[in-house]
Structure 1
Amino acid sequence: MAGALTASAGTGATALDDRFKGVMQGSHAEMTVARSEELAKKNAPTPPELRLAEYQRAPYCRDAPGMWVMGNADGTCPDGANLARTSVQCEDGDTLVMPMWMRTRATPTSAWEPWDDIDTGGCGIDLLPVMTEADFRRLPLPAPALTLQPDRGWVLINIETIVSTDPAPVTLRTDLLGYGVTVQATPTRWEYDFGDSHTLTTDSPGHPYPHHDTFHRYQQPGTYAITLTAQWTGRYQIDGSPIWRDINGTATTTTTSPPFTAEERTSHLVAGPCTTTPTPPDC
């Protein structure tokens, strides 16, 4: 649920009886708000005269004899009964969901059993679908941008090869159980595989020279490619709800640079400037 559930007795009630305490502590109610709502929706298409179960959301009320009973669907209590002032601490902008009650009968011609509470209520957001880690990973998250410096097809061994990426979040639209959903995904961690058995895992997107903080020095000449894996976290908002919810899990995307060579260069004296044309043979 979106918030903690607490309760205080209504006007004229001096203490919570054992049954109401049990309900508030979850020992009586056995279902989540979302699960009981799902059962009610599945039952709704059945004609009333054929139903073996009925569901209704209504508050807890304390009647004159001091028993907790089912209130009215409009949130009020019967004459002579006091409302149990249940306080669900929902996030700003969210709405309160009253407890769900259910009654059953053995056959369409049998008498109904008494109403019984099957969830304690909660917040409106509890009725909405949850975006799972698997849902998040199915989204078309972009491959991370990979910038190399220098980027000329070759680098020098024992000199920093600087790498960096773009940490900007992306916004995506998707559908979840018939609801439109806006997802904000943010890359928060990166792993570079430099192709020579060395890796770098960092929370920094990196910076260009001379403020670089993500780099690698190749020790041996050769042909290499750098693979960058970005780890994404996300949050989502369901259409019609003001609440943003964090996604419990992460997703990853990967990109690989074109191959390049790591070369060893040495300096030596030349007879004249190497800028002349044609280039002198000793340059």
Structure 2
Amino acid sequence: MRNHLFTLVVATALVICSGAVAWAGEGFDARATDGHVRVSADRAEQLARESRTTPPQLQLFRYERAPLCREAAGQWTRGSSDGTCPELANTAGVLRQCEDGDSIVLPMWRQARTTPTDPWGPWQQIDSGGCGVDLLPVLTEADFRLLPLPAPALTLQPDRGWVLINIETIVSTDPAPVTLRTDLLGYGVTVQATPTRWEYHFGDGHTLTTDSPGHPYPHHDTFHRYQQPGTYAITLTAQWTGRYQIDGSPIWRDINGTALTTTTSAPFTAEERTSRLVSGPCTATPTPPDC
């Protein structure tokens, strides 16, 4: 995918927090190093959404995205929420790449007060902004595994309740992707999950791991030959990969991890059949005793 470039205003150093306890008490996913607080853009956006659910007269924190501006004397200052800088100040920063269809996001600023009757304190920058996709929550591997992914389809050939030993028992599955809907931190999410790898356990100690979903006879490429008569069941485990799109965003993101689903066939027998001479046709009624 082609990328296009945006100028992203970023701070050379994040703001110093005068009260680390206050930041932690608000629930920041922050790492404090020498008094500097670093907050991810999606976490800052989540805090801003939570703050907006409180009536303005009761809020202790308020948030706004605005550019970081550099004055002629080299001083850094906060711009306006419309993306402009004060007179004689310029936006200055580094070159940033965003995916096609995505847009630039300005840094987040935060104001705080101790009680609802206190005056607001100074604006402090709490993230460096980024691309629009940076503000959205991430669907993790753990989230992916909680989705109701279907058990894999397991097809046996022949499928008649018994197979012959030393003859190929053909197995196959359906590789079709599935589309699921879920919710992530208040966002609607579409997930596309695709089975990409399969592992068969044939019940006699043998396994087959393959990237092929298999094909029916005579073009089959996934099969097993049982060596001993007995009763068996086949267990199939599918490995799923996925990608997701959050409502309102044009960007599809890959899920960093996989999920597994499993199914097991009904029990069947593996039988040994031998040929022998008989005195007459075995289709006769009643069946001849030597058939």
SS of aligned partner of 1:89: strand
1:175 and 1:54, CA in 2 relative to 1: closer, same or farther beyond 3 A?
closer
Instruction: Provide the residue aligned with 2:13 in structure 1.
Output: 22
Instruction: Provide the residue aligned with 1:268 in structure 2.
Output: 276
For structure 1, list consecutive stretches of 5 or more residues without a partner in the other structure: 10-18
Write out per-residue CA displacement over residues 118-169 of structure 1, whole angstroms, 9 at most, x where no aligned residue.
Answer: 1100122222222222222222221111111111111111111111111111
Within 5 Å, which residues of 2 pair with 1:1-283?
Answer: 20-22=11-13, 30-46=38-54, 48=56, 51-106=59-114, 112-283=120-291
SS of aligned partner of 2:98: coil
Number of residue equivalences: 270
Write out per-residue CA displacement over residues 168-222 of structure 1, whole angstroms, 9 at most, x where no aligned residue.
Answer: 1111222223222211111111111111122212111111122222111111111
Q: Distance in 1 between matches of 2:114 and 2:102?
A: 38
TM-score normalised by the chain length of structure 2? 0.82
SS of aligned partner of 1:54: strand
TM-score normalised by the chain length of structure 1? 0.84
SS of aligned partner of 1:22: coil
1:108 and 1:139, CA in 2 relative to 1: closer, same or farther beyond 3 A?
closer
Identical amino acids, percent of aligned pairs: 75
**In terms of mean alpha carbon deviation, does 43-52 or 178-187 score higher?**
43-52
- Please report how far the alpha carbon of residue 58 of structure 1 lies from its aligned counterpart in structure 2 after TM superposition: 0.6
SS of aligned partner of 1:39: helix
CA RMSD of aligned residues (A): 2.8
SS of aligned partner of 1:38: helix
Q: Distance in 2 between matches of 1:115 and 1:200?
A: 61
- Please report how far the alpha carbon of residue 229 of structure 1 lies from its aligned counterpart in structure 2 after TM superposition: 1.3
Q: Distance in 1 between matches of 2:105 and 2:37?
A: 15
Give the aligned residue type for 1:153: G
Q: Is the 8 A contact 1:146 1:163 kept in 2?
A: yes
- Please report how far the alpha carbon of residue 115 of structure 1 lies from its aligned counterpart in structure 2 after TM superposition: 2.5
1:176 and 1:54, CA in 2 relative to 1: closer, same or farther beyond 3 A?
closer
Q: Distance in 2 between matches of 1:169 and 1:228?
A: 17
1:159 and 1:97, CA in 2 relative to 1: closer, same or farther beyond 3 A?
same
